């Protein structure tokens, strides 16, 4: 009924020839040997001590041997029987079976012994053949790990559930790896993973999802499984190739930026990069405040809308209650389910005409556009982009004259915003002196509306940090040194409103003060500030396709500065770090421009710029206008200073 497993087939039958079972579980292979031959066979199993010349010295009783597997290359005589046979025969005959010494030494195990015995020849100690040096390993061995979830501090779903999800991840990866083994290209064979590498990859992926997902860990794993299910072999090989190729940012270290100019000369040159905001109004830059009539029309439109807005995340229509609903709710519509990542557009290929284009995916979970969200939030949120509606909440103000600000002053700044019942408002303001990078202002800001979401993943501001912040007290309306206000994200002072934060900021600048940052239209609109002198890294390092497409600050810092910023993940960004990174990008641009000008004959003497025509008696102290790079000319970039 059941197939035998043969667990006793290598053990001789205790009854030998007296066994009358038709299908005995034990072995009967040596039944043809008679008793005399068995005695001789038993005798030959004893071992004798043999001299080096092969002569027998003394006989020893048989010793217990270690059982060896059949694939270890052991040479065993045909008549070599086990100890059980000898004991059974001795019990039947009642005689003590002796084991005389054999005439010839017994054959030893053919494989090498580990560790090998030490051999000392009787003659000279010199060896005739020099030993071979140990071979160096060709690759770093992978430490074997069992397919078992790694221990984490906070287990979201329990070990049993994690094991099932981990096993599913491993099977999905193994399927792709097995299919890739059939690819005809020989050069791609080296990318394939063996079992240990597959296990490690699955463990790393699962552990990463545990730390990033938290309460939505199981949902993230399902989305990864769905992505692997739809993944093609070519995409799998691209992933393996990217893992083997070290990132450029990891192989290069950050270098100090040397412009060859004094700080005040850098400030003089940076004015060449001033953006023309009149031509950029269609991209969100505000060159003039809206009129009172425009603001009044926007206010009436908001009253007619009765608080109905579109969610900035899931695009659901919902209603906002700035003064709270009767049940205390600030919004309607329930829970928001959304993707927090940006859209990642696929790379175009020649085969798209026949095979079709690849789907656009979200960076957060690699799911296609239109899929269910991977993140939830208790309320919906909205963002106001229209300048007239922004002025309804907080009026715009041009930068006033400030004769106390020296002409050598420049600031790099950045703002962080959060979602409130008034839209997206300022919740943190950071500014650093340029080009030194010293913090001069870093405060939290209490918004006008009730907070719906701090947007911590991007703003870096948390509820605990906001509630524990102490109010900023100023003497004579003077901004204290940056070390008194700024320093670390763990402790920042807080000001009462965005108006107060803007007033503090205006004490540091004048209309001619260069303001440096990345995508400054967002920061200036958050401050409701109209400033004529801005230097935007989005314009200095344009995208090949031009506006509104732009490079992210993180990518620019990694490519040009070899610096890794915004690496906090779910903990968010640091606005002071972003401001300094934007300032250093501008310094890098100045260093490159100054090299070009020096090649044309320009030089710096006594703090002034002297042009190539100065030798002919023509005064030339003003630098030529800056030629803005086009997107196409900026495609080939070098990350060298």
Q: What mean pLDDT comes out for the span 183-193?
A: 70
Both structure tokens of 606:
């006594």
Asked, as a colleague might, if the bond just before 548 is cis with ω within 30 of 0, I would say yes
- What's the rounded Cα separation, in Å, for the pair 40 and 199? 54
CA distances to 29, 30, 85, 457 from 17, in Å: 11, 10, 12, 81
Cis-peptide into 539, omega within 30 deg: no
Q: Residue 607 — very low, low, confident or very high, per pLDDT cuts 50/70/90? A: confident
248 pLDDT higher than 80: no
- Supply φ then ψ for residue 415, to 5 degrees: -120, 145
CB 158 within 8 A of CB 165: no
566-575 burial code (b ≥16 CB/10 A, e <16): beeeeebbbb
Please give the average per-residue pLDDT across 271-294, as a whole number.
Answer: 90
Return d(Cα 425, Cα 455) in angstroms, integer: 11
* Cβ(60)–Cβ(46) below 8 Å: yes
The token pair that represents 124 in the structure block: 């000279």
User: What φ, ψ does residue 58 adopt, rounded to 5°?
Assistant: -135, 150
CA distance 538 to 550: 6
Distance of CA 86 to the CA centre of its chain: 67
pLDDT of residue 92: 55
Q: Is the bond leading into 115 cis (omega within 30 degrees of zero)?
A: yes
Instruction: Specify the pLDDT at position 624.
Output: 81
pLDDT above 50 (res 415) = yes
CA dist., res. 591 & res. 256, Å (int): 12
SS3 for 111?
A: coil
Tokens of 68: 């060896």
| CA distance readout (Å), 337 to 92, 313, 361, 390, 440 | 83, 8, 17, 26, 39
Distance between CA atoms of residues 190 and 281, nearest Å:
53
**Predicted confidence (pLDDT) at residue 40 exceeds the cutoff of 90:** no
Length of the chain as a residue count: 641
Calpha distance 46→104 (Å, rounded): 12
Q: Is the pLDDT of residue 330 over 50?
A: yes
Across residues 544-553, what is the average pLDDT?
Answer: 88
pLDDT of 358:
82
Pairwise CA distance, residues 170 & 202, whole Å: 5
Residue 522 in this model has a pLDDT that exceeds 60? yes
Assess whether pLDDT exceeds 90 at residue 616. Answer: no
Dihedral class, residue 61 (left if φ above 0, else alpha if ψ from -120 to 50, else beta)? beta
Compute the average pLDDT of residues 561-579.
Answer: 83
Which residue in 202, 209, 135, 141 sits closest to 175, CA to CA? Answer: 202
Cα 373 to Cα 365: distance, rounded to the nearest angstrom: 9
Task: Determine the Cα angle at 440 with ends 450 and 608, to 5°.
Answer: 135
45 confidence band (pLDDT: 50, 70, 90): very low
pLDDT digits (tens, 9 = 90+) for 462-500: 999 999 999 998 765 455 444 333 344 457 899 999 999
- The pLDDT value recorded for residue 482 is 41
Q: In sequence order, what DSSP letters do the residues of 287-324 get, joined into one string?
A: SSPPPHHHHHHHHHHHHHHTTEEE-TTT--EEEB-TT-
Measured CA to CA, the distance from residue 343 to residue 57 in angstroms comes to 85
| Residue 633 pLDDT grade (very low, low, confident, very high; cuts 50, 70, 90) | very low
Please state, in angstroms and rounded to a whole number, the distance separating the CA atoms of residues 318 and 421: 12
Position 394 pLDDT exceeds 90 = yes
pLDDT digits (tens, 9 = 90+) for 12-34: 888 777 787 777 888 877 544 44
Q: Is 202 exposed, middle or buried (0-12, 13-18, 19+ CB in 10 A)?
A: buried
Burial class (CB in 10 A: 0-12, 13-18, 19+), 441: buried
**432-472 tens-digit pLDDT:** 999 999 999 999 999 999 999 999 999 999 999 999 999 99
**Two tokens at 590?**
């100045």
Burial profile 214-230: b = 16 or more Cβ within 10 angstroms, e = fewer: eebbebbbebbebbbee
The mean pLDDT value for 194-215 works out to 87
pLDDT higher than 70, residue 161: yes
Element (H, E) at 605: strand 603-605
Among residues of the chain, what percentage have pLDDT more than 70? 72
Coil, strand, or helix at residue 495?
Answer: strand
Q: How much is the mean pLDDT over the chain?
A: 78
| pLDDT value of position 630 | 53
What does the alpha-carbon distance between residue 403 and residue 400 come to, in Å, rounded to a whole number? 10
- Cα–Cα distance measured from residue 511 to residue 227, given in angstroms and rounded to the nearest whole number: 52
**pLDDT score of 535 more than 90:** yes
Residues facing residue 342 across a β-bridge: none
pLDDT of residue 193: 84
Strands 411-420, 423-433: pairing kind: antiparallel
**Chain-centre distance for alpha carbon 376:** 22
Q: Are strands 529-530 and 397-398 parallel, antiparallel or unpaired?
A: parallel
pLDDT of residue 510: 96
Lookup result for tokens 């545990």: 210
Instruction: Please check the confidence at residue 129 and state whether its pLDDT lies above 80.
Output: no
Average pLDDT over residues 130-158: 66
| Sign of the torsion formed by the C-alpha atoms of 539, 545, 551 and 556 | negative
pTM attached to this predicted model = 0.61
The pLDDT of residue 144 is 67
Question: Can you name the residues that pair with 383 across neighbouring β-strands?
Answer: none
pLDDT in tens, 287-321: 999 999 999 999 999 999 999 999 999 999 999 99
pLDDT score of 131 = 43
Instruction: Place 636 in a pLDDT band, splitting at 50, 70 and 90.
Output: very low
For residue 329, the 8-state DSSP code is -
In terms of average pLDDT, the best of 90-94, 218-222, 413-417 is: 413-417
């Amino acid at each position: 009924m059941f197939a035998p497993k043969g667990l006793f087939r290598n053990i001789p039958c205790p009854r030998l020839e007296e066994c009358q079972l038709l299908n005995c579980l034990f072995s009967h292979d040596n039944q043809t040997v008679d008793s005399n031959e068995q005695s001789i066979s038993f005798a030959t199993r004893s071992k004798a001590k043999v001299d080096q010349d092969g002569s027998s010295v003394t006989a020893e009783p048989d010793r217990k041997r270690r059982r060896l597997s059949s694939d270890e290359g052991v040479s065993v005589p045909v008549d070599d029987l086990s100890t059980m046979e000898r004991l059974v025969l001795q019990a039947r005959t009642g005689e003590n079976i002796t084991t005389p010494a054999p005439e010839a030494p017994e054959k030893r195990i053919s494989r090498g012994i580990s560790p090998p015995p030490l051999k000392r020849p009787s003659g000279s100690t010199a060896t005739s053949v020099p030993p071979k040096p140990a071979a160096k390993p060709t690759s770093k061995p992978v430490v074997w790990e069992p397919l078992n979830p790694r221990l984490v501090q906070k287990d979201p779903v329990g070990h049993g559930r994690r094991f099932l999800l981990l096993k599913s991840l491993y099977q999905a990866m193994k399927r792709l790896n097995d299919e890739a083994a059939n690819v005809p290209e020989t050069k791609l064979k080296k990318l394939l993973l063996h079992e240990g590498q597959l296990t490690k990859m699955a463990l790393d992926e699962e552990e990463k999802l545990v730390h990033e997902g938290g309460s939505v860990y199981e949902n993230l794993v399902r989305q990864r499984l769905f992505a692997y299910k739809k993944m093609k072999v070519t995409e799998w090989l691209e992933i393996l190739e990217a893992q083997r190729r070290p990132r450029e940012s990891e192989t290069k270290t950050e270098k100090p930026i040397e412009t060859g100019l004094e700080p005040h000369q850098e400030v003089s040159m940076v004015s060449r990069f001033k953006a023309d905001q009149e031509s950029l109004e269609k991209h969100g830059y505000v060159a003039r405040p809206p009129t009172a009539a425009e603001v009044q029309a926007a206010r009436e439109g908001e009253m007619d809308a009765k608080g109905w807005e579109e969610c900035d995340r899931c695009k659901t229509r919902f209603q906002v209650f700035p003064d709270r609903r009767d049940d205390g709710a600030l919004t309607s519509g329930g829970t928001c389910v959304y993707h927090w990542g940006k859209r990642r557009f696929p790379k175009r290929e020649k085969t798209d005409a026949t095979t079709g284009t690849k789907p656009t995916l979200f960076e957060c979970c690699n799911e296609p556009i239109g899929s269910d969200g991977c993140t939830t939030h208790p309320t919906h949120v909205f963002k106001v982009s229209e300048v007239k509606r922004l002025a309804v909440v907080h009026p715009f103000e041009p930068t006033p004259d400030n004769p106390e600000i020296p002409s050598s002053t420049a600031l790099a700044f950045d703002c962080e915003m959060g979602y409130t019942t008034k839209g997206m408002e300022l919740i943190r303001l950071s500014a650093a002196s340029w080009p030194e990078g010293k913090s001069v202002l870093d405060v939290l800001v209490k918004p006008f509306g009730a907070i719906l979401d701090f947007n911590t993943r991007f703003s870096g501001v948390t509820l605990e940090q906001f509630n524990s912040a102490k109010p900023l007290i100023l003497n004579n309306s003077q901004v204290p040194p940056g070390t008194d206000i700024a320093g670390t994200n763990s402790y920042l002072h807080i000001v009462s409103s965005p108006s107060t934060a803007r007033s503090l900021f205006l004490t540091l600048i004048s209309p001619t003060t260069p303001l440096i940052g990345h995508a400054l239209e967002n920061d200036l609109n958050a401050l409701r500030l109209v400033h004529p002198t801005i230097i935007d890294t989005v314009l200095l390092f344009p995208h090949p396709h031009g506006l509104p497409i732009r490079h992210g600050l993180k990518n620019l810092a990694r490519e040009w500065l070899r610096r890794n910023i915004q690496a906090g993940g779910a903990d968010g960004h640091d606005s002071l770090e972003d401001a300094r990174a934007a300032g250093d990008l501008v310094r890098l641009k100045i260093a490159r421009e100054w090299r070009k000008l020096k090649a044309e004959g320009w030089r710096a003497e006594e703090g002034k710029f002297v042009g190539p025509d100065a030798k002919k008696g023509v005064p030339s102290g003003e630098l030529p206008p800056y030629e803005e790079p086009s997107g196409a000319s900026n495609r080939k970039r070098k990350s060298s200073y």
